[in-house]
Structure 1
Amino acid sequence: TEPRTGVLSSVSSPGFWVERTPVHEAAQRGESRQLQQLIENGACVNQVTVDSITPLHAASLQGQAQCVQLLLAAGARVDARNIDGSTPLCDACASGSIQCVKLLLSYGAKVNPPLYTASPLHEACMSGSSECVRLLIEVGANLEAHDCHFGTPLHVACAREHLDCVKVLLNAGANVNAAKLHETALHHAAKVKNVDLIEMLIEFGGNIYARDNRGKKPSDYTWSSSAPAKCFEYYEKTPLSLSQLCRVSLRKAAGVRGLEKIAKLNIPPRLIDYLSYN
């Protein structure tokens, strides 16, 4: 994997701009002993290369947990910014490394950095790491973080067909009908022709009649007589049951914070399982 572009904001002196250093190379390759020696010999852990990468970015993107630990302990800037705005946490999520994500969070990495691009949660959904997605949500990741290119994390997870991530997001209360240029997650599901994904979104209240900026419904992106087309046709002819409509309505009324407390309600376990889609 090619490194991302890197930080501009973490340094101010032009003297810091260098070619890739031995620290960068050791961090990216996971050579923890060499990295430790370099640090002990006084190497700077916050140098920014001409391609705008800090060693912490490099280690995080490759999922090198030992090197991430060494760099953080040596004073690496945990929220250093790339030229495109990404932080090491974004890169750790892109690698799908739960160890790196936990380390960065333990050193105070912002789970919702003020970005104009993909958030850490977007990156975790892109990589398909449901474990990272779950952890980010637990520490307060914004489920509706919006990227002008990708839309919400749910859009990303659906476009990449990461069903486990989609289920985690929906269970946590992500807006199933959030729109990007009026395009919903169901539009993405229809385009990738994934019936399981289509059914999951509809069961969580996805609007099969939502129209995008071209005036098209999700079903308009399916081929006649195909499995996805038949799925949409079934739901058009067979509305959701009353119990299902009640479940969707109750979850919507509870809101994201309320959903976290469903398991603690003094109601029959079967109702808790039903409301939680277990």
Structure 2
Amino acid sequence: EKGYEVYEYSRRGMLADLRECLQAGQCHADDYMAYDGSTALVMSARKGSDAIVRELLAHGASHEVRTDDGSTMLHHAVSGGSAQCTQMILEAGVPVDEPNEDGVTPLILAAHYGHAEVAEVLCTAGAEINRCVDGWGTALDSAKGGVFQVLEKRGAQPSKDGKGQPLASAAERFNYGCFESGANAGALAPTKLMEAQPGAGAEESSAKPRVGDSVRLRHAKGGLLKEGDVGTVVEDDGSDCVPLKVRLGDAHDYYEYTELVVCSAPVELPPDADRATAEGTLRFAQAKLKLPPSALGSSGLSISPVGFGCHRLDDKEEHQA
């Protein structure tokens, strides 16, 4: 496909090959665009490849491209962590405070990733340091490492709720546009009649899933996979910068490997799974009340199922429910 060589050379950081291809004049830097709207310049900015970014801009690559999530070229440069790339993209004319579709500005993103030098460049360029975004707060709320000092010396303020943002605390945010949905992440709605259990150590692991692995979302986000859905990785080109292809049923979508957690394959629940059962009540007692089944008899309590996910707790001596 026309322009694919330029895209691949840029993605892989092959400067000499890229330069030779561009100088031959057989294609333009923007001829090839990936499924998510990424161009060669997007990929190189995302990787923090200063020399590649410089070469592409010199050959007319567009800095005005937005990827499917609404991210500007500056968002991608910021995520790459290179202050030099960020400066070049700013000088090309990308607005410093233009948000993506989630309302996240480049500075909030830099704070989230802990890129102090990048944050310094953005602040010097006039970034609004106290802009507050639902679920993210201000840049100071997300700040990690040296970014906190960069922002604090410029008078940055936390949001009204500080780090107690409604969707996630700063420590729970993993990737822009993605939020931890709470302790029950991965639990399915009753109507799906499926159960997905994370694999051993999956919550703590950041290892890249392999082709054939069952995966679920680490954080809630838009796309094919919803909370609790378990898909299968069906394609990986071997680069950490290119999303994995994940299949769910007859459909597929693409996800960064950091957005996924390896888990066990889904298991069909029995036909009566939409009703509470005695066995489920015992599990409820252990999980929620920290009360082993053997202790129920001496506790004076009686627990019985009354509906999906609901249990009646009675104090037999006090005759109170």
For Structure 1 versus Structure 2, the TM-score category normalised by the shorter chain is 0.5 to 0.7
Counterpart amino acid of 2:16?
A: R
- Pairing partner for 2:68 from 69, 83, 97: 83
Match of 1:31 in 2: 14
Counterpart amino acid of 1:109?
A: V
Match of 1:103 in 2: 88
Kindly report which structure 2 residues correspond to 1:184-195, keeping only aligned pairs within 5 A, or say none. 184-185=162-163
Q: Compute the displacement of 1:124 (Å).
A: 1.3
Counterpart amino acid of 1:164?
A: G
Asked if residue 133 in structure 1 is aligned to residue 109 in structure 2, the reply is no
Q: Deviations 1:27-49 (Å, cap 9, x if unpaired)?
A: 11111111111212232212322
- Pairing partner for 2:150 from 165, 168, 188: 168
| Whole-angstrom CA distance in 1 between matches of 2:34 and 2:145 | 37
Using CA pairs below 8 Å that are at least 6 residues apart, which structure has the higher relative contact order? 1
| Whole-angstrom CA distance in 2 between matches of 1:146 and 1:38 | 44
Kindly report which structure 2 residues correspond to 1:203-242, keeping only aligned pairs within 5 A, or say none. none
Q: Deviations 1:252-271 (Å, cap 9, x if unpaired)?
A: xxxxxxxxxxxxxxxxxxxx
Q: Is the 8 A contact 2:137 2:162 kept in 1?
A: no
Go from structure 1 to structure 2 and tell me whether the alpha carbon gap of 1:153 and 1:19 turns closer, same or farther (over 3 Å shift).
farther
Counterpart amino acid of 2:4?
A: T
Q: Which runs of 5+ in 2 are unaligned?
A: 172-321
Q: Compute the displacement of 1:187 (Å).
A: 7.4
Q: Is the 8 A contact 1:19 1:50 kept in 2?
A: no
Q: Is the 8 A contact 2:141 2:170 kept in 1?
A: no
Q: Compute the displacement of 1:115 (Å).
A: 3.3
| Whole-angstrom CA distance in 2 between matches of 1:114 and 1:132 | 16
Counterpart amino acid of 1:141?
A: A
| Whole-angstrom CA distance in 2 between matches of 1:149 and 1:168 | 22
Asked if residue 149 in structure 1 is aligned to residue 131 in structure 2, the reply is no
Match of 1:112 in 2: 97
| Counterpart secondary structure, 1:70 | helix
Counting matched residue pairs gives: 167
Match of 1:44 in 2: 28
Q: Is the 8 A contact 1:59 1:68 kept in 2?
A: yes
Q: Is the 8 A contact 1:60 1:91 kept in 2?
A: yes
Q: Normalised by the size of structure 2, how large is the TM-score?
A: 0.47
| Counterpart secondary structure, 1:83 | coil
Counterpart amino acid of 2:113?
A: S
Counterpart amino acid of 1:87?
A: T
Kindly report which structure 2 residues correspond to 1:175-186, keeping only aligned pairs within 5 A, or say none. 175-176=157-158, 178-179=159-160, 183-185=161-163
Go from structure 1 to structure 2 and tell me whether the alpha carbon gap of 1:112 and 1:123 turns closer, same or farther (over 3 Å shift).
same
| Counterpart secondary structure, 2:146 | helix
Go from structure 1 to structure 2 and tell me whether the alpha carbon gap of 1:152 and 1:67 turns closer, same or farther (over 3 Å shift).
same
Q: Compute the displacement of 1:127 (Å).
A: 2.0
| Whole-angstrom CA distance in 2 between matches of 1:147 and 1:23 | 36
Q: Which runs of 5+ in 1 are unaligned?
A: 1-17, 193-278
Q: Compute the displacement of 1:89 (Å).
A: 1.5
* Structure with the higher fraction of residues in strand conformation: 2
Match of 2:290 in 1: none
Q: Deviations 1:218-266 (Å, cap 9, x if unpaired)?
A: xxxxxxxxxxxxxxxxxxxxxxxxxxxxxxxxxxxxxxxxxxxxxxxxx
Q: Compute the displacement of 1:60 (Å).
A: 0.4
The two structures, once aligned, show a CA RMSD in angstroms of 2.6
| Whole-angstrom CA distance in 1 between matches of 2:15 and 2:40 | 12
Go from structure 1 to structure 2 and tell me whether the alpha carbon gap of 1:127 and 1:114 turns closer, same or farther (over 3 Å shift).
closer
Q: Is the 8 A contact 1:45 1:71 kept in 2?
A: yes
Q: Compute the displacement of 1:114 (Å).
A: 4.5
Q: Normalised by the size of structure 1, how large is the TM-score?
A: 0.54
Counterpart amino acid of 1:58?
A: M
| Whole-angstrom CA distance in 2 between matches of 1:149 and 1:187 | 5
